[in-house]
Structure 1
């Protein structure tokens, strides 16, 4: 079956605007490492089910049911922009509701990073770079999951391109992952 690479478009611009809604902050925080390492849903092909009810437009999205941790890399310390790219392929027979997320983890013993220490941008379909705000929890910077949520069709591949610039050099790890819903 042919594959098709999917890239998010202007949805990202709207998603960044949606980050100003305070109710989304609680659902965007990273899950503790124990929960991320042992997701409650299968990683390769989580099951999705159809719902017969429609949620009101004001309802907040459900929490992820599992995560797939992608390969990590050391946080660059040279103050130059670095491209971070990753792919996730839906090899299951059905559609998957997913959201890509980038975690920037501080060393366990500190010093802890702050959002102003790094600049993270995502590449849009026209090749321009859109800045992404970062949240922080216990020394981990993260991108918001809720506006990034999308449906990845069976046998399609999501390709993400980010540009990371460390403004205040520090030790740390860049840890992309995929969140699964339902």
Structure 2
């Protein structure tokens, strides 16, 4: 039976495979693809669309109490150069199932003005995930990114793990 780390590694590899060939891997992760116009402008733009790594933050059990729970995703660019990053929230199903469905949770993101907006999640092999392409931003040297998500478990039988992380590009 695969471990949760194996599932996260598999999900990361799946993202890279999908970015390399979305027509053969399905629509769930194709949301991480650059737009057709951006992809056709140069191979350098396409190459920068693929994450070069991930910074995993502290995972927590999926809170299935029906209450709203906040999950901050924070990353500091400690380099001397600008860095493109994307915060992401993964909700990983138990290894033995049952797999979670997007309808098992509601997810929101706090906007710059303090409001909460709904966030759609994709699903692949038992992992729910937020879209990397919509979350990408450039952090200047020394800047810190903090994105706050609010998650509510709707399905009373839902179990799993919440894994915040930051995708690194280029």
Shorter-normalised TM range: 0.7 to 0.9
Structure 2 residue aligned with 1:141: 128
Q: 5+ residue gaps in structure 1?
A: 1-30, 38-54
TM-score, normalisation: structure 2: 0.74
Contact residue 71 and residue 164 of structure 2 kept, 8 A: no
Equivalent residues, number: 135
Please tell me whether residue 33 in structure 1 is matched to residue 9 in structure 2. yes
> Could you tell me how far apart the structure 1 residues matched to 2:54 and 2:11 are?
9
> Could you tell me how far apart the structure 2 residues matched to 1:89 and 1:36 are?
21
Q: Of the candidates 91, 94, 118, which is equivalent to residue 104 of structure 1?
A: 91
**DSSP 3-state at the match of 1:102:** strand
TM-score, normalisation: structure 1: 0.69
Root-mean-square deviation (CA, aligned residues, Å) is 2.2
Q: 5+ residue gaps in structure 2?
A: 1-6, 14-33, 40-45
Structure 2 residue aligned with 1:26: none
1:86 to partner: Cα distance: 2.7
4+ residue runs of structure 1 moved beyond 3 angstroms? Answer: 34-37
Structure 2 residue aligned with 1:52: none
Q: Of the candidates 16, 38, 46, which is equivalent to residue 59 of structure 1?
A: 38
> Could you tell me how far apart the structure 1 residues matched to 2:58 and 2:114 are?
24
Richer in helix (by share): 2
Summarize the Cα distance change of 1:82–1:95 in structure 2 as closer, same or farther, 3 Å threshold. same
**DSSP 3-state at the match of 2:141:** coil
Structure 1 residue aligned with 2:163: 175
